[in-house]
Structure 1
Amino acid sequence: MSIIEKLQWRYATKKFDATKILSKEKLEILKEAFNLTALSYGLQTLKLVIVENKMEREKLVEVAYGQRQVVEASHLLVLCIQNEIDEKDVHTHFETIKAIRNTPDAILEPFKKQMKSTISDMHNDKKVGWATRQAYIALGNLMTVCAVEGIDSCPMEGFIPKELDKKLALESYGLSSVLLLPVGYRAADDMFADFKKVRQPIAKTVIEL
């Protein structure tokens, strides 16, 4: 299938086949895709928490308003932001640049200094909003890769983040959950799989100047 056909094939899966599990290879592709997401400044202030244990996921159904996808899917992906974003993240980013590209400090230092200043001057509420928007970029990237790989997914905002954070002890990792993405394979009797995709004509949604 072409990429457009694959995007037409995907839908927000309402019912997963709990007997079908993602292979290690497919899971590695999703990890790589998350890690390769294009992010502001190149700073990776997001973390992906992968929950496979069904007993752990059963505890999350209540905080996901009863949505069984969190359990029935092969794996539950939890997109999280760091609770603290500061100069250490900038330092780590530039050390990684040096290690991979062998870029001299003389070239990196002005950019590093500017980025540290930007992050330091940013109010915490603004950092949270900024990091959260990055999480949505990662979500879109993961959903597209899922479609390409023939993996079903269901993006979810409908859950209680603070309660989920407690159940998964995310505070111990310095993280807060933002989005959920159950991934796996659709159930044969999920009626939503056969629904025609509803979209406005391109002429109404795209403006060419």
Structure 2
Amino acid sequence: MTIDQIVRQRYTSKAYDGSRKLTQEQQQQLLDVLRFAPSSVNSQPWHFYAITSDEAKQQIIPAVSEPNAAKIHNAALVVVFATRTAIDDAHLNAILEKEQQDGRFINSDAREGMDKGRRYFVGLNSTSAEKQREWMARQAYIALGFLLLSAATMGLDATPIEGFTASKMDDVLGLAEKGQTSVVVATVGYRSDADFNAKLPKSRLDQNEVITLL
């Protein structure tokens, strides 16, 4: 199946078959998708909470709006996307050291240039704490997009969920003490026969209304 066919066929699932689980291989592929998602200047300001157990699902359901509770309960995988509450020197240094270990620098000048450039762009988006949080949230949404499309290529259904209370989710997962905050949630699994959205035709504005070729 081509990517064009996939994007035309995928949709946001409204109901999941709770009896169908992911294989270990499927789960690991999705975790790899999250870990290897791109971020501005490789800032990786995120942490992903991958939830598969019924106990963990029940723990977060009180933070989710009622229409989404059943999706959380029945999905094979639930991902809570969190970002750091602030990007600090320790995080930037950890990224730099990992890049060094992975062989990204041909010499010390390359290492210094990467560090300097990254700190510059982080600074551009950190003129206020709110602006930095918004910038980090945008990075998390890049990872969300990767997850949604990757799930579709694997024959899985997925749902992005903004219908939750971040403060409650943060409390349930103990994110404040970890220096993190929740941004968005996604569910992945197999749709059930009760998924009405699967029976509806996809609807999007015409290309000339949303795309301008220059």
TM tier, smaller: over 0.9
The whole-number CA distance in structure 1 between the counterparts of 2:3 and 2:118 is: 36
Instruction: Report 1:36-185 matches (<5 A).
Output: 36-66=36-66, 67=68, 68-101=70-103, 102-119=105-122, 122=126, 123-185=128-190
Instruction: Report 1:4-15 matches (<5 A).
Output: 4-15=4-15
Contact preservation (8 Å) 2:41, 2:121? no
The whole-number CA distance in structure 2 between the counterparts of 1:96 and 1:62 is: 37
1:52 deviates by 1.4
Contact preservation (8 Å) 2:38, 2:142? yes
Root-mean-square deviation over aligned CA pairs? 1.7
Moved over 4 A (4+): none
1:107 deviates by 2.1
TM-score by length of 1: 0.93
CA separation of 1:207 and 1:17: change in aligned 2, threshold 3 A: same
1:120 deviates by 5.5
1:170 deviates by 2.3
The whole-number CA distance in structure 2 between the counterparts of 1:43 and 1:120 is: 12
Unaligned runs of 5+ in 2: none
Deviations 1:54-110 (A, max 9, x none): 133124333211121111101110111012311222212221222112532122213
Of 193, 199, 202, which aligns to 1:194?
199
| Paired amino acid for 2:93 | H
Contact preservation (8 Å) 1:87, 1:120? no
| Paired amino acid for 1:46 | W
Instruction: Give identity over the alignment, percent.
Output: 24
Q: Secondary structure at the match of 1:60?
A: helix
Contact preservation (8 Å) 2:160, 2:185? yes
Q: Secondary structure at the match of 1:5?
A: helix
| Paired amino acid for 1:176 | T
Q: Secondary structure at the match of 2:49?
A: strand
Contact preservation (8 Å) 1:80, 1:176? yes
CA separation of 1:110 and 1:5: change in aligned 2, threshold 3 A: closer
TM-score by length of 2: 0.91
1:114 deviates by 4.0
Contact preservation (8 Å) 1:20, 1:185? yes
Deviations 1:141-193 (A, max 9, x none): 11010110111111011100110111122234322110000111000231211
Contact preservation (8 Å) 2:86, 2:133? no
Contact preservation (8 Å) 1:98, 1:104? no
| Paired amino acid for 1:11 | Y
1:24 deviates by 0.8
Task: Report how many residues are paired.
Answer: 209
